[in-house]
Chains A and B, each alone.
Chain A
Amino acid sequence: MDVCRHEVLSNGIEWAALNLPDRKTITGELRFLTGFVHEPATQLGINHLVEQTIDKGTTRRTGHELHDAFDALGARWASWSGREATGFQITALPEYFDAALALVAEFLLMPTFPTEAVDVAIQNTLDEITHLDDDPQELTSKLFHRRVYGPVLGRHLYGEADELRGVTSAQVENFWRTHYVPGRMQASFAGPLDANRLAASLEKLFPAQGAITGRERLTFDFQPGYHHQSKELEQEHIAICYPGASLDHPQRFAQRVLIAVLSGGMSCRLFTEVREKQGLVYWVTAYTEHPRGVGMVYLGASSTPQRCPQTYTTLIREIERVREDLQADEVQRAITGLVARMQTRGDITAARCAELADDLFHYGRIIPREEKINQISRVTVNDVQAYLQAHPPTPRQVLTLGPDPITLESS
């Protein structure tokens, strides 16, 4: 069994480390519990601007010099911003990892947010907002999240053009100062590492004291309905959503198995019924989203407009049929797939680190892989049926994007 360390440091940083001595790289993720849900309503998109510009200059170096310093170490790093969190991930050879972590700390603690860099980030984000129109899947996602989650959880990370145009460098800096504090940070590391040395580094690099914060749960009122967004496209995109189980809900493992039954591989129900038996689509999927304390089930597909009603009908029929005739062999196959994919992905150090980071975020503890595998392996047909009873696929929210609306009743 892997031995993992998890604790809260004196500076308020919650951290976890998994020593994998045979690996060739170390990956770390510094995740702040700050996302677009924390933005002031008049500054939508500002968290994404922080993420995009925090590396464009520090009190010690210009942005270009900072990037060159990472390259001098061969360190690979990336960042992302999302609904409730923003992450900075770094991978380096073990001998360079300490120095790379110090560089990340430098831009997280001492950013200067140069006005010209903020202006460029705003302009580029405005272009990206326009560009969403050229990407039907992304556009569907943006429109649908707004309808599913409402005005706060349903925001888009790019924000809104009108608010973005008015954001200043000073506001970006102020948002960072308020929301990027050690007490909101969770740090995860995996690879051939020395946990004691890493803990000492984190305490030295982030000396400020901080109370633990940012762990609150947000709520929203799910509103069912149907919306069609007209757009000239070759295909019509369908999105369906209804409430499921959160990641700390006792039925989460049954939900995971159900999603795998629906969409876990080519033998799954949606692929089989929508694509292979009827040739209606190229892609079809089911997945869950988990804002902290929330679980939402999504289904999606795209097909040419004349076949869209049949695609929708089949999707609905399949999520209802699974309640009637779920088979033990399907459940077993889904479990096998989930467990095997955990094992194969375990060979990737960055994937192990991401697993730790997600555990911290959702559970506040590191769940041993053996425990996860054990919980998934114990799911039965009855468990999935009980889950379906508690989380039926109605009422639901539906969105279509494309040339024509569909009639839900008749379809």
Chain B
Amino acid sequence: MVDHPPFHQQQLSNGLTIVIEPMADVSSVALGFLARTGARDEHPGVAGVSHFLEHMCFKGTARRTWQNITIDFDTLGSTYNAYTSKDRTFYYGWVPAEKLEQQLELLADMMRSSLPTEEFDMEKKVVLEEIAMAGDQLDSLAYDFLHEQVYADQSLAWPVLGYEQTIAPLTRDQMNEYLQRRYSADNLILIVAGRVDPLQVTRLAERYCGGWPRAQITAASRNPPLPRPGQSAKVVERFTQQVIAEVFPCPGGRDPWNETAEVLVSILGGENSRCFWNIVQQGIAPRAGAFRMEYEDGGLIILTGQCDPADSAALLTALRLEAQRITREGVTEVEVQRVKNRMRTGLAIEGEAPYYRLSQLMDDVDYRGRPRTVGERLAAVDAVTPQMIADYLREFPITTGGHLISVGPRHWLPD
């Protein structure tokens, strides 16, 4: 596989990190600012402020009204958006390569939001509508309930959107305090992938971001997550299906076990997986699988499925059976090789498009502290063996110490 040229990575004097991956065979460029802040960096009284701030960054700066911001994005023909998670907020745009400077300048301007007072209350209504919408989605309710229970009394428990009770009374001053503290140059990373000249990007970053202040308050102040075992149920009568999930601690994004855990969940619950053939294709539940939720300093392996509420016990039994079997019997060389083969094609697809590369670069830079080439990531996966998976499962078991979650119309937990 042909790999891309090396990355260009440097830091401006104010601490802003810049990571650039030039891609010769493309015609576009994707770029974004990663703010290393999210729901886990909030105080409980202002839960949801990171996400609300993400909305407000589209609402005005010292140089632009919200109309100017959106018109400028659309005049560039940009594919753009932003999102907030538990531990990061990301603003991005994907444009034809010749629009690089305008896109970078616009995104940089947004990072210095003026939080216009006249827009604050209006945008609050939008966020409250988003919270109401999430209340109608079973997956979303289950995700939030899982975090509330597994990370009870820790900042990872707050929902990304916050609560109506925290958003409604939130003031602009509270948000401004958070903005000044969390959007300092040394807590932001500019990531660029596509048809670019790295020197030009650096010059532009210096021009548009060089004056930003440094604050010395970074994600390092986070407490490592401590998932709690147990079982918890939430009844929401208006839904028809039941979500069953059993979650287990797993290492975070910076941990050397990372790729091993990835291969494990793929064999257990990804495409052509054991869960697919032994649960879904056996008619036990229409949806069943396993996935990983990672943060830089910890994470979860989640065995989960959705089913008719009456089938909850059968689904949980089937999920646990697969966890026990893979722990007891291990995995085969052939199973591991299948994952590697799939990943090889997936990485080639990713290497074709700046938009895809941007997303992966963000993960690598944020969680692993540095960008990785497509080839380097493939080599890391290629190194995984069945023995490593067995060793991993001894270190991070998925048969004991989990937290069982049940969300749906039935109050169901095993006896």
B239 at the interface (CB under 8 A from A): yes
B334 surroundings in chain A (CB, below 8 A): 68
Given the complex of chains A and B, what is the CA–CA distance between A120 and B278 in angstroms?
12
Interface pair B58/A266, CB less than 8 Å apart: yes
Residue picked from B71, B95, B352, B354, most chain A C-beta under 10 Å? B352
A283 at the interface (CB under 8 A from B): yes
B117 at the interface (CB under 8 A from A): no
Interface pair A233/B136, CB less than 8 Å apart: yes
The 8 Å CB contact of B96, one of A279, A338, A343, is A343
Given the complex of chains A and B, what is the CA–CA distance between A92 and B354 in angstroms?
19
Interface pair B280/A344, CB less than 8 Å apart: no
Shortest distance between the CB of A392 and any CB in chain B (Å): 26
Interface pair A134/B241, CB less than 8 Å apart: yes
Given the complex of chains A and B, what is the CA–CA distance between A333 and B77 in angstroms?
8
Give the interface SS of chain B, mostly helix, strand, loop or mixed.
helix
How would residues 81 to 107 of chain B score, 1 for a CB under 8 Å from any chain A CB and 0 otherwise? 000000000000011100100000000
The 8 Å CB contact of A340, one of B95, B127, B135, B286, is B95
Interface pair B282/A134, CB less than 8 Å apart: no
B197 at the interface (CB under 8 A from A): no
A63 surroundings in chain B (CB, below 8 A): 281
B171 surroundings in chain A (CB, below 8 A): none
Interface pair A72/B338, CB less than 8 Å apart: yes
A123 surroundings in chain B (CB, below 8 A): 283, 286
CB proximity to B under 8 Å, residues A262-293: 264-268, 271-272, 275-283
Given the complex of chains A and B, what is the CA–CA distance between A373 and B80 in angstroms?
21
Nearest chain B residue, comparing its CB with the CB of A131: B241
Tell me the count of chain A residues lying within 8 A, CB to CB, of chain B. 71
Interface pair A282/B342, CB less than 8 Å apart: no
Contact stretch, chosen from A149-157, A211-219, A247-255, A345-353: A345-353
The 8 Å CB contact of B132, one of A119, A235, A333, is A235
Given the complex of chains A and B, what is the CA–CA distance between A276 and B272 in angstroms?
44
Given the complex of chains A and B, what is the CA–CA distance between A349 and B73 in angstroms?
25
Interface bin, chain B: 35 or more
The 8 Å CB contact of A280, one of B124, B129, B338, B354, is B129
Given the complex of chains A and B, what is the CA–CA distance between A22 and B124 in angstroms?
47
Given the complex of chains A and B, what is the CA–CA distance between A343 and B76 in angstroms?
12
CB proximity to A under 8 Å, residues B319-365: 334, 337-338, 340-346, 348-349, 351-356
B70 at the interface (CB under 8 A from A): yes
Interface pair A347/B241, CB less than 8 Å apart: no
Given the complex of chains A and B, what is the CA–CA distance between A134 and B69 in angstroms?
36
Chain A residues near B (Cβ < 8 Å): 22-25, 56, 63-64, 67-68, 70-76, 91-93, 117, 119-120, 123-124, 127-128, 130-131, 133-136, 232-235, 264-268, 271-272, 275-283, 302-304, 307, 333-334, 336-341, 343-344, 346-350
What are the 10 A-B residue pairs with the smallest beta carbon separation, nearest first?
A: A340-B77, A279-B125, A74-B341, A71-B338, A267-B70, A266-B70, A265-B74, A282-B130, A127-B286, A124-B286
A-B contact pairs, 28 of them (CB 8 A): A24-B348, A25-B348, A72-B337, A76-B342, A120-B281, A120-B283, A127-B286, A130-B240, A130-B241, A131-B306, A234-B133, A265-B70, A266-B70, A266-B80, A267-B70, A268-B74, A276-B122, A277-B122, A279-B129, A302-B129, A304-B129, A307-B129, A333-B75, A336-B74, A336-B76, A344-B94, A346-B28, A347-B353
